Structure 1
């Protein structure tokens, strides 16, 4: 593993996710908190206009604006497209990245706890994830997609990943999740420092993680209107098993709709407020245990 020289912490990629945005504000005021002897740590407020407006975005989702072809397309002129190009110039792409690690901070209305969202099976990320989950049982690890051609901000760096915390209401600063996220960031930075010093912290050579396999939308009528909600027995049960026949939705007139899959899955981002517009009621994962790397 090459030496880590520069780390970027990004917050406010979505303007109404205040946990990360206000941590960036804190680190800007107290930069020594995130500096380590062997590498530089810089901060970036991802979407300043959306943050100022208290909105997720101005024109479009910034965290879906990093396809390589979009970054090179001069005809895309929305605020977020322009902002994505500016961030690209600051951080660079995976092949010519100006940073070694990107930590992109997000919060969710779903009961995701402390989640580490990975986009690749890079051995270093797996080692980091294994360590973080071993020292903090609250940390869950998700593998969401391969980063080649990804439109996520984290994909601008080979060692980019997301810290997703919740449940936190949109546009609300929650002290508990602020402190837990801050503590996890320090743990990550300390780990990177020890790696540079040649003393990688010990952890078990196994990792339990959740592999993304798909999404489920709410039941809708022919006009696209939602006809059912998350069943009360499923609400806030992120990372818990959902088996065929379990309640999944409750119609507006009180009828239960059961899960019709053929195997046990583990839903995450259940009833995430920001995903209503994306046609997603929850994401489904498979639990992978004792993955060796």
Structure 2
């Protein structure tokens, strides 16, 4: 198994997601909390200007600025494009990542618990996911966009992943989720340390994984205005089954709109506040059981 030499923890990629940003502040003051004997742990506040302003971003979403072609494009000069290039130069040199693991901390207004968003099926990530989900019932594992060609910050490293924590309101520090996230980080670092030492940790051989299928927008009129809300029976039911015919949206005049799919799906990021501008009401996922014995 690959030896881990350097880990980067990033918070505040979105400036109004305070959980990760303030954890970075804490770790900068108390670096011994995150150091391990066999590897170095770095910290990075991803979007300092947006954090200072209490906004998601200044000009554009930083976590959509890491396409390789965009990083090489000198004509892209928004604040976030410049910041993405600075982060790239810090974490990648001569095309080679200078860190082995990137942990990108995010919070969400959706009821996502502690969600690990993976972009690859690397054996070490799968082992980590299985271990964390076996010791912590809040942990859920998602397989989203593959890293190749990704515009996410996590794509700067083969073992990069996102932690989404919530529900947490934008621009708010929530002590419960702050502590849950901090404990999860310590568990991740401990796992990586023990992996370096060749120590085998117990974990479930079968991993429950939610694979991304598609995004769903809110019903809109011809002018693009939203005409329906998340149905009350679906609100806060992230990772719960949505069956054909189940209520999905509620129109402004109180009419239910049912899910028209042909099979059961598992919505996540339901009614995420930051996704209104992106035209996303929720992601639909498919629940899978992965036999790690056959994939490692």
Give the TM-score taking structure 1 as reference length. Answer: 0.99
* Alignment CA distance shift 1:4-1:50 (3 Å): same
**1:95: how far off?**
5.3
**Secondary structure at the residue paired with 1:237?**
coil
Partner in structure 2 of residue 170 of structure 1: 170
**Secondary structure at the residue paired with 1:236?**
coil
Partner in structure 1 of residue 185 of structure 2: 185
Structure-2 separation of matches of 1:19 and 1:125: 23
Structure-1 separation of matches of 2:234 and 2:107: 20
Asked if structure 2 preserves the Cα contact closer than 8 Å seen for 1:12 and 1:45, the reply is: yes
1:133-166 per-residue CA deviation (whole Å, 9 max, x = no partner) reads 0111210000001110100000000000011100
1:237 aligns with 2:237: yes
Structure-1 separation of matches of 2:93 and 2:259: 40
1:170-217 per-residue CA deviation (whole Å, 9 max, x = no partner) reads 000000000000000000000010011110312122210100000100
Partner in structure 1 of residue 89 of structure 2: 89
> What is the Cα-based RMSD across aligned positions, in Å?
1.0
**Secondary structure at the residue paired with 2:186?**
helix
1:261 aligns with 2:258: no
**1:94: how far off?**
10
Aligned length: 293
Moved over 4 A (4+): none
Partner in structure 2 of residue 138 of structure 1: 138
1:288 aligns with 2:292: no
1:124 aligns with 2:124: yes
Structure-1 separation of matches of 2:214 and 2:223: 23
Structure-2 separation of matches of 1:28 and 1:108: 23
Asked if structure 2 preserves the Cα contact closer than 8 Å seen for 1:113 and 1:139, the reply is: yes
- In structure 2, the gaps of 5 or more residues are none
1:112-148 per-residue CA deviation (whole Å, 9 max, x = no partner) reads 0010110011111011100110111210000001110
Partner in structure 1 of residue 32 of structure 2: 32
Structure-1 separation of matches of 2:52 and 2:277: 22
TM alignment of 1:63-102, pairs within 5 A: 63-92=63-92, 96-102=96-102
Partner in structure 1 of residue 148 of structure 2: 148
Asked if structure 2 preserves the Cα contact closer than 8 Å seen for 1:249 and 1:258, the reply is: yes
Asked if structure 2 preserves the Cα contact closer than 8 Å seen for 1:131 and 1:204, the reply is: yes
Larger deviation, residues 28-37 vs 89-98: 89-98
Give the TM-score taking structure 2 as reference length. Answer: 0.98
Structure-2 separation of matches of 1:201 and 1:39: 18
**Secondary structure at the residue paired with 2:96?**
coil
Structure-2 separation of matches of 1:259 and 1:144: 22
Asked if structure 2 preserves the Cα contact closer than 8 Å seen for 1:93 and 1:157, the reply is: no
Structure-1 separation of matches of 2:144 and 2:41: 26
Partner in structure 1 of residue 4 of structure 2: 4
**1:43: how far off?**
0.2
**Secondary structure at the residue paired with 2:27?**
helix
TM alignment of 1:44-59, pairs within 5 A: 44-59=44-59
* Alignment CA distance shift 1:49-1:149 (3 Å): same
Structure-2 separation of matches of 1:94 and 1:255: 57
**Secondary structure at the residue paired with 1:160?**
strand
1:210 aligns with 2:210: yes
Structure-1 separation of matches of 2:92 and 2:154: 11
Asked if structure 2 preserves the Cα contact closer than 8 Å seen for 1:94 and 1:158, the reply is: no
**1:93: how far off?**
7.1
